[in-house]
Structure 1
């Protein structure tokens, strides 16, 4: 079990799922939803490159990862955000498993049992296994620990679980490494490529240029026909792929405390004052039993208190009460529990260990006069301070965990103490203490101003009335204007989006938007402290955007192409030898200058992002006007005035290109394969 505990502490949340827990999922589904398990069994949740994935198959990925997360983090439940992240992680892993397994099978890539064993106990142990089975005393990998663990793991289900998890992880990693290495071999950089790249970077040019913008020609003078648009669309159709999206409009009825609710909170705190202020009442216990927030045991200087209390405490005595007062929409009563003279900060050092026997031994040594710093360097598990002999420097009250904090601030300078916290056993030496200052320990009773059930019901009734009277988009819009409400928009919602704008936990509205018909009204959603009513106002299905939707952008592109031809002809007709100033005068433009531009430049000052201009300038002959070239914003002519040559090491360039290609393979391989995969994602119907 000690080994398993160390694995838990070191492993973290690994991005791989173990094939266990499907039976638990099936039984749980059967118990909770009757025959839903049988209806879901054959329901398809995805299709990946023709491979159908059923709901139980995907859910098994999710359940397995949830089980691992719960075991690793020692929790029995997951919050909504963690559950969502796990579902996304399971989805990505499932997709990768399908698409990459196809590649491995096609190429005959496999990992044998002998390879797995070699990575666990051989000469080249996997880093994860090396980390988990490193001897804490020697810092060296302990092969005997691995072998002992493998022999005993079947006796502990959790240990077996961890090992299966790790085994799958390193197997998948080794498979992908083999695949990636094959691709890297195919991206070899030739000497010719390296020489060409080096030569392109050897020259930096200073040049003048003139530009004639497309906007100089009126749109009305260039005709673009519907057939031109249709032909362009057909030739570039892949540029107009789209995801399924929905647009909604909605109105939110927020539940806020009424004046009656505020008065109820005020009355409650006022009625509590008599008992809370009674010296016989245990203020700390009273706060913990009755307040919105528990008592916090802190001793604070005047300047650390809220501005409301600073004037009160100066001159006040223990057990005096201030209030009721209002702060951040909360009514409060504050009672002084204690007034102390305490140092503002202390200087201490410590030795942190987890073994009680070792702690007792080390405590006896330092109490007996042994060198504290030497013992800390050799034994403390707090490596950040151990290197400095356990020295933590000066720290203010409240900086450290409470047992440690109290031991340092409540004991004398020079004291050697032993206390336990959630981090382990601390052997502390209080080295110095600051000048005492007056500090106040205060217990505060709080009553939040919150809405009542009555207020909540009133707002719901208002929302229900609005929905019943305004069940069409037209009536909805008119009522919003008449009632001075705020119309809100949720645009381009995707099927798996979790929220609509900032509406809390509004996943259900996204699901509704994809199931509802156009211009249909929703039910009344309850999101946080708001009731929401919406309409679906727009819908795009997965596939290609229609010609009508992209007509404007295509028309602009075709107009610019046509304008470029006109401008190129104009610039050619205005050229007078190599005189760029005459050309600028002829087109009523100006000469602009750019310096130190090489082939790798991203943009040109005065022109912006213009790859065509960079290519033109770095390839033009020095001293001659270039031919006109069309760019993003207009047509350009350049005249290179100066070329500064430098030597670029082709060997170094080859190494750099090889490294760049390697990075691309490492970080883009899976994404590139995934972008080519045919994936139908229908998870939104289930989650």
Structure 2
């Protein structure tokens, strides 16, 4: 991938400054001319990071770029609400890092000098980014000549100059990040004693037997909790109750729009009629394309691409067969097997892509492709031809596309590659231009089929949707802030809860596509019914805001429901500890203790300190820590754990061999600590900074 490819992905940034300036000039001019209050500009601020406003105009292109990255990562499909929320959050975190780290670099005096930048761009120590875009993928060697040539060309090419400016910014940013990371790393030290302790903690084995009294052995309704119990637990664990961001909770009724029995019958009848028409249609592919809810390309496909219920049988059908209607996965399937054959599992190929728009039209591009084909067939170096004529990013690697399976390329390209033979040269047209393809190798072989495919989803009718919406509207009109649960119960509606929703999340338990609902929750006051019926993918929702937890230290009242189970277990622990200590009194063996409390003795072997888990029970840090601090053969006192109260006796320890390579152990520990420290340092910068996040107003 060359510099053009790199900067195409970031092209939006080139215009951001100019666009932002034009917008600001327009607004300021308009305000001066009309006398509007200047504070209206604050309505365009997505957030403020340590005093720096982030406007919606500069933030939107960065969200768009993040969305495009998600699309590429997940196969280029549509972005769902969860992915959209993640893209927004990714763009925001990038802005937070940009502002805070830039200030930290300045405070620490971290800079990139002119000599360093020269070295990073074209010297003996090039940036990883430069190596990525100007490295030879086959040899791994840095092509300095290509860099110098491109740098010289920018003086005559404004577009290339702008792209180099962007690349230089990225190179400097990465270099500063590396300097900062090295600074953090060099502040970390691990002593030989610490290295040996870590070795022992991960390799020393303990064998012990224990007796436990589980908290579940006491019924919850027999344990009465007081305000003092809650307060004591809260005070002891106060640091656990810091909220990183404001959260809100809802109770809601979801008026489902699931298909009714009548809807199912109607769809079934429609599919049966469609099947009869499909069987006799003269144009299978066109009929399927016009009638299917899910578009499957009319192309050869291999096993594993369809719904499992269909995939398991359809490849056993001969050409000309008809399959269905069959219901699976909430839809009916109708399939005609048009043809089937054996085909390669994957293809290794290379190509030259020509752009007709730059060559005077499609005819001229095709003519050139044919000429290049003749040259290649007569022994010309294909890789050199690709470097000279191709407009694709693969040209720098001689047009090499590597190995790809079906579905990876556009249909025209795929058909030519899989239908031809190794050594063939084929000229094909696609949406990207004119390709000259050289098929280098076919790998594997399996059965593929060309299918005319129809899928009809079982979806609710408009009548069903209208009925659900009327119910939701009626409920919204009748409900008050103080009678939500009572009115729902009276109407036999199920009340569900969505707890601790942060302002930017794109999901909520029991709800599909809830962004508008969450945004409305952040405009409401605690106890209010939200003002409208909200449309989800799975129903119509009426909701009420039940709780608001502020950012920062939460009060006991904010977490009382959350800690109720833990407080009850703490009280049970006191009761069971008293019982177990009584059994331990006068006992000389763990078997006697077990007999007194009526519980079995449980043996455990080969437990390590670094993994404090009782298999099948729980993670028991206090118990395992006590085991490794105990004497062999001595009965312990009662230990309050996560799942119950324990008593134990150690049967023996197995010590590991001495640490053979202390330096290597220290190096591994330093790397881990440095990585955590870098994250902790950035978190400290965020905690110290004043950050106001208004994204919920825009997304």
Whether TM-score is above 0.5 comes out as yes
Give the CA deviation at 1:657.
2.4
Task: Choose from 660, 677, 684 the match for 2:672.
Answer: 660
Q: In structure 1, what is the Cα distance between the partners aligned to 2:291 and 2:210? A: 77
Gapped runs of 5+ residues in structure 2? 355-366, 387-395
* Structure 1 unaligned blocks of 5 or more: 317-321, 386-391
Aligned equivalent of 1:638 = 649
Query: In the alignment, is residue 497 of structure 1 matched against residue 520 of structure 2?
Result: no
2:620 pairs with 1:621: no
In the TM superposition, 1:434-449 aligns within 5 A as none
Who is 1:468 aligned against?
477
Aligned to 1:354: 352
Match 2:428 to one of 420, 441, 445: 420
1:111-510 aligned within 5 A = 111-134=112-135, 140-153=141-154, 158-198=159-199, 203-211=204-212, 226-227=227-228, 229-230=230-231, 233-234=234-235, 236-242=237-243, 243-252=246-255, 254=257, 297-298=298-299, 343-345=341-343, 351-354=349-352, 363-364=373-374, 381-382=399-400, 384=402, 402-403=411-412, 416-420=424-428, 422=430, 424-428=435-439, 460-461=469-470, 463-471=472-480, 474=483, 478=487, 482=491, 486-501=494-509, 503-510=511-518
C-alpha separation between the residues in 2 aligned to 1:215 and 1:414? Answer: 68
Aligned counterpart in structure 1 of residue 532 of structure 2, from 512, 515, 523: 523
Provide, for residues 419-475 of structure 1, a one-character-per-residue CA deviation record: whole Å limited to 9, x for no partner.
3255832135999999999x9886x89998988878866665554344334456647
Change (3 A) 1:542 1:665: closer
The CA distance in 2 between the partners of 1:219 and 1:291, in whole Å, is 55
How far residue 250 of structure 1 moved from its aligned partner, in angstroms, is 2.1
Give the conservation status (yes or no) of the 8 Å contact 1:44–1:53. no
Give, in angstroms, the shift of residue 189 of structure 1. 0.9
Offset at 1:490?
2.8
Instruction: Look at both structures and tell me which one has the larger radius of gyration over its CA atoms.
Output: 1
Question: Secondary structure of 1:498's partner?
Answer: coil
**Partners of 1:343 and 1:434 within 8 A in 2:** no
CA distance in 2 between counterparts of 1:200 and 1:364 reads: 69
Alpha-carbon spacing, 1:169–1:607, altered in 2? closer, same or farther (3 Å): same
Higher deviation after alignment, 634-643 or 184-193: 634-643
Aligned: 1:603 with 2:613:
yes
Contact 2:209/2:651, CA 8 A, preserved across alignment: yes
Q: Does 1:535 align with 2:544?
A: yes
Q: Does structure 1 retain, via aligned residues, the 8 Å contact 2:254–2:539?
A: no
Alignment-derived partner of residue 97 in structure 1:
98
Cα distance change, pair 475–215 in 1 and its aligned pair in 2 (3 A): closer
Which has the larger displacement, 511-520 or 567-576?
567-576
CA contact (8 A) 2:260 2:464 kept: yes
- Report the equivalent of 1:319: none
| Secondary structure class of the residue paired with 2:90 | helix
Q: Residue 581 of structure 2 contacts residue 637 of structure 2 at CA under 8 Å; is this kept in 1?
A: no
Cα distance change of structure 1 residues 669 and 30 upon mapping to structure 2, 3 Å threshold: same
8 A contact 2:577–2:639 mirrored in 1:
no
Q: Shift of the alpha carbon at 1:127? A: 1.1
**Cα deviation per residue 1:549-582 (whole Å; 9 max; x = unaligned)?**
4373574465367458746853663244xx4444
The alpha-carbon deviation at position 3 of structure 1 amounts to 5.2
**Farther off after superposition, 83-92 or 227-236:** 227-236
1:188: how far off?
Answer: 0.9
Shift of 1:247: 1.4
SS at match of 1:496: coil
C-alpha separation in 2, matches of 1:670 and 1:203 = 35
Question: Following the alignment from structure 1 to structure 2, what is the Cα–Cα distance between the partners of residues 504 and 683?
Answer: 20
Q: 2:132 and 2:323 mapped to 1: Cα distance?
A: 57
Instruction: Give a deviation string over 1:286-337, Cα, whole Å, max 9, x none.
Output: 8778987889545799xx9999999999999xxxxx999898999999999x
Q: Which residue pairs with 2:658 in the alignment?
A: 647
SS for the counterpart of 1:141 is coil
| Residues 574 and 586, structure 1, Cα contact 8 Å, conserved in 2 | no
| Corresponding residue of 2:585 | 573
Q: Distance in 1 between matches of 2:621 and 2:455?
A: 64
Report the secondary structure of 1:354's partner residue: strand
1:210 Cα deviation (Å)? 4.2
Contact 2:208/2:650 (CA < 8 Å) preserved in 1? yes
Measure, in 2, the Cα distance between the counterparts of 1:29 and 1:276: 63
> Measured at CA, do residues 640 and 685 of structure 1 come closer, stay the same or move farther in structure 2, by a change above 3 Å?
same
Q: 2:333, 2:209 → 1: CA distance?
A: 72
**CA–CA distance in 2 between the matches of 1:368 and 1:220?**
89
Counterpart position of 2:362? none
Residue 681 of structure 1 pairs with residue 690 of structure 2: no
Deviation string, structure 1 residues 250-308 (Cα, Å, up to 9, x no partner): 232538699799989989998999999798xx88778778987889545799xx99999
CA shift, 1:181, in A, is 1.9
Q: Deviations over 1:51-75 (max 9, x none)?
A: 244352x652333453697799999
Q: For the residues of structure 2 that align with 1:52 and 1:349, how far apart are their CA atoms?
A: 55
Contact 1:8 1:72 in 2 (8 A): no
| Structure 2 CA distance for partners of 1:67 and 1:120, relative to 1, 3 Å | same
Contact map agreement 1:346 1:408 (CA 8 A) in 2: no
Q: 1:515 deviation in Å? A: 1.9
Would you say how many aligned residue pairs link Structure 1 and Structure 2?
652
Deviates more, 1:618-627 or 1:355-364: 355-364
**CA-to-aligned-CA distance 1:576-598 (integer Å, 9 cap, x gap):** 4xx44445445555543332334
Q: CA deviation at 1:638?
A: 1.9
After TM superposition, give the deviation of residue 523 of structure 1 in Å.
1.1
More displaced, 85-94 or 284-293? Answer: 284-293
Instruction: Give the secondary-structure state (helix, strand or coil) at the position aligned to 1:515.
Output: coil
Moved more, 138-147 or 426-435: 426-435
**Cα separation, 1, equivalents of 2:476 and 2:63:** 42
Superposed CA deviations along residues 163-188 of structure 1, whole A, max 9, x for unmatched, are 34333333232223222222222221
Relative to structure 1, the CA distance from residue 112 to residue 430 in structure 2 (aligned partners, 3 Å threshold; closer, same or farther) is: closer
Output the aligned Cα RMSD.
6.0
Alignment-derived partner of residue 389 in structure 2: none
Question: In 2, distance between residues paired with 1:245 and 1:609?
Answer: 31
Do the aligned residues in 2 keep the contact of 1:203 with 1:646 (CA within 8 Å)? no
Secondary structure in structure 2 of the residue aligned to 1:419: strand
Matched-pair contact (CA < 8 Å) for 1:353–1:426: yes
Which stretch shifts more, 199-208 or 265-274?
Answer: 265-274
Distance in 2, Cα, partners of 1:330 & 1:212: 51
